[in-house]
Structure 1
Amino acid sequence: MASAVTTTAPGIDAALDLVVADRGGQRREGQHAMARAVGEALEGRTPLLVEAGTGTGKSFAYLVPAVLRAVTKSERVVVSTATLALQRQILTKDLPAVAGALADALPRPAEVALLKGWHNYACKHKVSGGYPEETGALFELEPAAEHPATDGDEGLGAQVVRVREWAAETETGDRDELVPGVGDRAWRQVSVTKMDCIGQRCPLLAECFPERARVAAKEADVVVTNHAMLGIAASGSPNVLPEHHALIVDEAHELVGRSRSAATAELSGPSIDRTARMVRRHAGVVVASLEECAQQLAAAIIAVPPGRLPDGPTPQLTEVITLLAAACREALSATKPSGGGGGAGDGGVQMARSALTVALEIADRLLSDNVAQRRDVLWCDERSDGSKRLFVAPLEVAGLVADHLFADHAVVLTSATLRIGGQFTPAAHEVGLHDPAGYRELEVPAPFDYGKQAIRYVARALPTPAAGGGGPEALAEIVGLLEASRGGCLGLFSSRRAAERAAEHVREVTDLPVLCQGEDSIGELVRAFREDAEASLFGTLSLWQGVDVAGLTNRLVIIDRIPFPRPDDPVVQARSEVAASRGANAFLSVSAAHAALLLAQGTGRLIRATTDRGVVAILDSRIATARYGGFLLRSLPPMWPTTDPAVARSALRRLAQEAVDGAGVDRTSRAESDVDA
């Protein structure tokens, strides 16, 4: 990172005007207000929470002050996103646009770097034979980044051949640059986790892709990363990020979930058995007690009923886990490297030792009082084949995020859906910002006239939907809406089975084309939906967030039921108990808050540009009849409301006439300045 330069740079307002003018856009007061607030947060270090609706241009609103601060003050800024799509937009469009527009106004060019988890890069040493062949999934501390779906007709062998050929030629080693992508099993043939890496003993250290990325990040002004990396940092490994002055978290509504996922651990008999076999195979050490523990652990877990263990491990589990911890320590001592090396033997030993280290950390965690003290949640999960596994997750991550991510940094959290029930307070509390005087709030409304562009139809007359999908009345309602709109529907369902059932029914009783999640990659399904004015796309959680289809080809969004979390979810149960013990309304603060966030995300799929029009149809009557309905509605855009199906269908018929007969707006010609993930 270059040293600070004293040349006077433009102010934030002037700089943003330069960027917007360079892009051919128009000045937006909301965007400027956000940019000024971000600049103040970077200057004064008071955390800022910003809900900036779709179309506000929020990425420019935080990138302009970030670049100005980083270049003029030599204070590195880390920008994190939750989705690959937004990461690509920032790296390939937004940051180059800001840097290009400000090139003549800044004292020096801005340096930008991309940083991901170690496992997201190819390992040259592994490709060249420096590690033994992968024998199966092991413990993974670093979650894999999002990557393109694979070709379902390509077998594992062909994927391995292709990824090895690519790894020998790539200049970055970045998994996301391999198109089409490959599955996790194939990718493991060319990559290692940070714990598996032999580090300074590696003979190809000078050519290491993840090491190069980290060196570049330490020298950059702006570092773009993902929430998985923030989750690892929050879990107690802050050094995965370079030293930085400020952290800007886009898609901030995902931060808590990603942080909890990074801190969630799994333990099972087969996983310990694999570890024991690795120790024997790669380190030449036989630890009989470890192999015995694998069998005993599997037997002990089978005896545990599925669900939450609120008081911690059973006595039988505790006994076995105590023996497991001792066996792991013995094996770690026996496999301690003597130095030197750098060949496949070293790689295999390191893989075995990393698996042992993770197993020991999980064992020690389960033997602590974390579960009894309600710091962790422990549960037993049963798979469809009857096998069982233990999972342990932090009950709350507020302390982890506040201590390891926010402390001593300027922080900006932004999202199109950050308020819950119309308030920032729930989101602030989840990341450890408990004092209202300790952070600032800003709402930047979307530049849409929701009351004129969209109708929110609640099917008040329908019965309460069943958990497994809508009954015949709901299916009939879906068909009626689709026939009125002549397709053009994004159907958001609470389960895969519900989506499949609805798709099957529509295909049976109409001639309208319906695409369904699972029939192809999400990218291909969205592309087909976008290109066919009569097609509909049905799916689950992957479609509730991140799908961006503007124009009349997406004129109807159907939500089958309020997306409450499963009542038997162990983390939800534990969080509800804690909320109740603190005198809060457990249902509103946990389940309803979760549902409100997803509803806002799902509803937001409809209006993506100032020319969009359409109907959001919510087929769950509880949103109109239950006491908590108002809480949920306060999280949604202010669309024109109705409970009259005739009104919704009449509007859809008019929109269908425009869309299908070609009288609508050009759905592919949206200005980039209107796009905001």
Structure 2
Amino acid sequence: MTTMMKTLTEAVRIATGIPDAMPRPGQATLTEHIEEAIKTTGHVVGVAPTGLGKSLSLLAPAMVAAAELGQRTIISTESLSLQAQIIDKDAPNAAAACEKVTGTRPDVALLKGFSNYLCLAAVRDTAEAVTGTAGARLTTPELRSKLAALPKTGNAQLDGRPFDLAKGVPLLIWALSLKEGDPGDKQSFDGDLTNELWNAVSVGPGECIGDSCPVFEYCKPKKARAKAAEADIVVTNHSMLAVQAAKGVPVLVGNKNLGEFHIIMVDEAHALPENVRNAGASEVSVATVTGLARSITRVLDEMDPRVERLVKEGKALALELNEELATLGRGTKSGEVRKITENEDPVEATGDMMIGWAKSVKGALEVPSSSPNTKIRLAAKRLTGRMDTFIANISAVKLHKTGVARWIEMKSPPKDARNQTPYWAASSSPVNVGGMLQANLWTAPMLPDEEDPIVQAMKEAGEPVEEETGTYPMTVIAVSATLPGRFGYQAGMTAENVSYPSPFDKAYGSSLLYIPKLAGPELQELYPGWAPGRRARFDARLHEGWAARKNVELVEASLGRALILSAKSSSGERYAKELRAAAKGRWKVYSQWDGQSTRYLMSAWRDDEHAVLVGTKSLMTGVDAPGRTCSLVTVDRIPRQAGNPVGDARVEALMEALQTDKWSADRLVYVAEAALLLEQAAGRLIRSMGDVGMFAVLDPRFLKTGPVSYPEPTRRIYKKAVERFLRVTTSHKAAIEFLEGLETGDLGLAA
């Protein structure tokens, strides 16, 4: 048995508390494959089902690689829950196992994006602004007392914007009560939180004023990075990997402050390509320019003629931009997008003027950037960073680049915006991100040897030092419970998918898949006027009403205990409303539209066995509630994404690369991703070996027979996503009896 396998075995025994426990078959095989990849600097793409114990399969080889080979590892996850599990539970167990086997205990550190940590200077500035004590030089306890005395409801004003006191005051008091060793990260705050509130107490890396900050010694992001630089294993998130891949910025790999890494392990890897596309996306619109123009007066004196002129110029440019995009988009209907062709420049008339304006604003911001007032310096640095991003976004939408989709569309303002007038936006996004990942993450630049005495002496003497510019390949491991068939191609990796056995097969075998078969009145409800022998057309509006009633009937039978998922937000809102009306106080219904954070909603739902949680696509992944709380999961229809410029561009690229027709390429993009999301939604039901329940797909098109059905090649792909369920019914009566049987223990399936 190799050292890595011995460490895995010992980690399993520590984690389970069973002295003679052994790794699960799939867990052991995955570790063996990772060990071989580390030896050869290779790649592994693993379909590792939930319950396999893949965290230990990743950590055991990473620990031994650190202890025996001196190699450092980055482990990235998508969900906060898995990140917390690794740091709080799995990594300590694996480190203890490694120490027992090798005599060395590697160090592990958590590193999040810069703005995930509090900026203590921003915290104090915001607290003083909310309490009206700027310049009073209050001590921290005095400032906390002032905050505690504020009204518990209503809004304060913060730079002309409302600041929610009910949610914001607890955040500020928590931030001002932290001890030096506390991480001060976003996820450590237990209260309700919005992005707007967190933005008031944090800054991005481009907004930080560095060692000139009066509280730099206590800087939370700096301390997190210092700890990561000393660690053998750094646990992070996909957002950081995505920024490096999309922007080419050495956030992690090749970062001189963090040091050299040799291995990247990506858990929940299915989400990484989309994260990269989002990180590389750009948008320019009237809302962007107007927002920047308004922000100028929050930093500079609006009575200054130069500042007044810059604001007016920005607002005028915003209107000119909107007119230019509207002309280009003439004839494009609301809700549609208009692709930008290779030879078109959507900001031909306004682009250079907007860049010139942004540079003028940056020039005006140089003076407050050197101000002794910390608040003004932070605001100036933040706006300068936004202007840099704005200039980069103009360049991104202006010119055609191979592998980048560009389009314009009419957008609606957020619901809380004062001006509800729709506006035009020009956007761009990378399409195929495999090349970005391969070039910017899977290949690492060589870092100079800072400890070389000759290099040190030359630097001290002011002599130029030629730094090595070579690169070296990383060992790359990508695993997830669900992965598309050609994931290696998507992610720029050289390995094919390898599937590992699931320990939950028995739980899936005891559970039930329900796909309703329509008959009688229901047929006429969904397809009015339909007659045998005729085809019908799917009507999303009629389906929504029918699905709302089905959800109520199923939740009644399961006595709550449900996760209700919708393909569209508007449908989810309706389901939540009708479920609340039907519940009549017998169980609580939580939804993503309640104004609460997702973390709060999931916690409240998990803690109440009979509660119901209603959400849309974002809850199809990352929700983990083993036990009776989640005995029923419903999806109203297969969550296929609507056609969009990025997806369409991917289809076109596949048509060319594979020399195939549009429909086949479409199935490799839109249908494959919908199937992946459907499989992930089904995975919310079974989270432990003792779980049992029902997964309902309220989409009659899933069945081969009926007035409307998916094309057979498409249906086969969707069918594969739920193939782990061995018990299937199309009978509503049988579905209700199964749910009622969960209460009595009688899980026999009616005919």
Both structures adopt the same fold (TM-score exceeding 0.5) = yes
Among 666, 682, 688, the alignment partner of 1:603 is 682
User: How far does the alpha carbon of each residue in 1:127-168 deviate from its partner, in whole angstroms, 9 at most, with x for none?
Assistant: 45499979xxxxxxxxxxxxxxxxx96753524444333333
- Equivalence for 2:235: 224
- Equivalence for 2:651: 576
Q: Does 1:410 align with 2:450?
A: no
What 5-or-longer segments of structure 1 have no aligned partner?
A: 1-8, 135-151, 661-677
Give the counterpart letter for 1:282 in structure 2.
Answer: V
User: How far does the alpha carbon of each residue in 1:145-192 deviate from its partner, in whole angstroms, 9 at most, with x for none?
Assistant: xxxxxxx96753524444333333323231221221432222222221
Q: Does 1:397 align with 2:426?
A: no
What CA distance in whole angstroms lies between the structure 1 residues aligned with 2:102 and 2:237? 27
Task: Summarize the Cα distance change of 1:445–1:460 in structure 2 as closer, same or farther, 3 Å threshold.
Answer: farther
Deviation at 1:14, TM superposition (A): 1.0
Task: Summarize the Cα distance change of 1:616–1:160 in structure 2 as closer, same or farther, 3 Å threshold.
Answer: closer
Structural mapping, 1:465-544, within 5 Å: 466-468=539-541, 470-471=543-544, 473-506=546-579, 508=581, 513=587, 515-517=589-591, 518-519=593-594, 520-544=596-620
Q: Percent identity?
A: 28
Among 17, 20, 37, the alignment partner of 2:9 is 17
Task: Summarize the Cα distance change of 1:516–1:166 in structure 2 as closer, same or farther, 3 Å threshold.
Answer: closer
Task: Summarize the Cα distance change of 1:274–1:38 in structure 2 as closer, same or farther, 3 Å threshold.
Answer: same
Structural mapping, 1:421-460, within 5 Å: 423=485, 425=486, 427-433=487-493, 438-448=494-504, 449-450=506-507, 452-460=509-517
Q: Contact 2:563–2:614 (CA<8 Å) still a contact in 1?
A: yes
- Equivalence for 2:412: 383
Give the counterpart letter for 1:551 in structure 2.
Answer: G
Query: Per chain length, whose mean CA-contact separation is higher, i.e. which structure has more relative contact order (CA < 8 Å, sep 6+)?
Result: 1
What CA distance in whole angstroms lies between the structure 2 residues aligned with 1:525 and 1:280? 38
- Equivalence for 1:257: 274
Deviation at 1:258, TM superposition (A): 1.3
Deviation at 1:533, TM superposition (A): 4.9
Deviation at 1:37, TM superposition (A): 1.3
What CA distance in whole angstroms lies between the structure 1 residues aligned with 2:600 and 2:212? 43
Deviation at 1:77, TM superposition (A): 0.5
Give the counterpart letter for 1:116 in structure 2.
Answer: K
Q: Contact 1:487–1:513 (CA<8 Å) still a contact in 2?
A: yes
- Equivalence for 2:194: 183
User: How far does the alpha carbon of each residue in 1:233-273 deviate from its partner, in whole angstroms, 9 at most, with x for none?
Assistant: 11224421133111111111111111111111222224323
What CA distance in whole angstroms lies between the structure 2 residues aligned with 1:332 and 1:451? 59
Deviation at 1:543, TM superposition (A): 2.4
- Equivalence for 1:673: none
Deviation at 1:201, TM superposition (A): 3.7
What CA distance in whole angstroms lies between the structure 1 residues aligned with 2:124 and 2:544? 57
Among 138, 162, 173, the alignment partner of 1:165 is 173
Structural mapping, 1:553-568, within 5 Å: 553-567=629-643
User: How far does the alpha carbon of each residue in 1:284-312 deviate from its partner, in whole angstroms, 9 at most, with x for none?
Assistant: 65464545423422443455455433225
Q: Contact 2:6–2:101 (CA<8 Å) still a contact in 1?
A: no
Q: Contact 1:499–1:540 (CA<8 Å) still a contact in 2?
A: yes
What CA distance in whole angstroms lies between the structure 1 residues aligned with 2:625 and 2:542? 25
What CA distance in whole angstroms lies between the structure 1 residues aligned with 2:82 and 2:384? 36
Question: Secondary structure of the residue that 1:456 maps to in structure 2?
Answer: strand
Larger Rg: 2
Q: Does 1:202 align with 2:193?
A: no
Task: Summarize the Cα distance change of 1:467–1:514 in structure 2 as closer, same or farther, 3 Å threshold.
Answer: farther
Give the counterpart letter for 1:398 in structure 2.
Answer: G
Question: Secondary structure of the residue that 2:350 maps to in structure 1?
Answer: helix
Q: Contact 2:345–2:399 (CA<8 Å) still a contact in 1?
A: no
Deviation at 1:206, TM superposition (A): 3.0
Give the counterpart letter for 2:272 in structure 1.
Answer: L
Deviation at 1:34, TM superposition (A): 1.0
Q: Contact 2:406–2:426 (CA<8 Å) still a contact in 1?
A: no
Give the counterpart letter for 1:210 in structure 2.
Answer: P
Deviation at 1:537, TM superposition (A): 3.0
Question: Secondary structure of the residue that 1:72 maps to in structure 2?
Answer: helix
Q: Contact 1:132–1:348 (CA<8 Å) still a contact in 2?
A: no
Q: Contact 2:369–2:381 (CA<8 Å) still a contact in 1?
A: no
What CA distance in whole angstroms lies between the structure 2 residues aligned with 1:69 and 1:406? 18
Q: Contact 1:12–1:65 (CA<8 Å) still a contact in 2?
A: yes
28-37 or 373-382, larger mean C-alpha shift: 373-382
Give the counterpart letter for 1:620 in structure 2.
Answer: D
Question: Secondary structure of the residue that 2:642 maps to in structure 1?
Answer: coil
Task: Summarize the Cα distance change of 1:216–1:337 in structure 2 as closer, same or farther, 3 Å threshold.
Answer: farther
Q: Does 1:293 align with 2:293?
A: no
- Equivalence for 1:248: 265
Q: Contact 1:378–1:391 (CA<8 Å) still a contact in 2?
A: yes
- Equivalence for 2:74: 78
Deviation at 1:603, TM superposition (A): 0.7
Question: Secondary structure of the residue that 1:309 maps to in structure 2?
Answer: strand
Task: Summarize the Cα distance change of 1:324–1:56 in structure 2 as closer, same or farther, 3 Å threshold.
Answer: same
Q: Contact 1:488–1:535 (CA<8 Å) still a contact in 2?
A: yes
448-457 or 73-82, larger mean C-alpha shift: 448-457
What CA distance in whole angstroms lies between the structure 1 residues aligned with 2:250 and 2:129? 29
User: How far does the alpha carbon of each residue in 1:636-660 deviate from its partner, in whole angstroms, 9 at most, with x for none?
Assistant: 3421133343443332232132499
What CA distance in whole angstroms lies between the structure 1 residues aligned with 2:37 and 2:715? 35
Q: Contact 1:552–1:655 (CA<8 Å) still a contact in 2?
A: no
- Equivalence for 1:629: 715
Q: Contact 1:265–1:393 (CA<8 Å) still a contact in 2?
A: yes
What 5-or-longer segments of structure 2 have no aligned partner?
A: 131-151, 156-162, 253-257, 414-419, 444-472, 527-536, 705-709
What CA distance in whole angstroms lies between the structure 2 residues aligned with 1:308 and 1:504? 32
Among 106, 113, 116, the alignment partner of 2:109 is 113
Task: Summarize the Cα distance change of 1:131–1:395 in structure 2 as closer, same or farther, 3 Å threshold.
Answer: farther
What CA distance in whole angstroms lies between the structure 2 residues aligned with 1:154 and 1:107? 58
What CA distance in whole angstroms lies between the structure 2 residues aligned with 1:33 and 1:269? 54
User: Would you say how many aligned residue pairs link Structure 1 and Structure 2?
Assistant: 623
Among 291, 294, 299, the alignment partner of 1:282 is 299
- Equivalence for 2:417: none
Q: Does 1:53 align with 2:49?
A: yes
Q: Contact 2:647–2:669 (CA<8 Å) still a contact in 1?
A: yes
Q: Does 1:38 align with 2:69?
A: no
What CA distance in whole angstroms lies between the structure 2 residues aligned with 1:274 and 1:528? 36
TM-score, with normalisation over the residues of structure 2?
0.76
TM-score, with normalisation over the residues of structure 1?
0.84
User: How far does the alpha carbon of each residue in 1:614-656 deviate from its partner, in whole angstroms, 9 at most, with x for none?
Assistant: 2212121222223111112223342113334344333223213
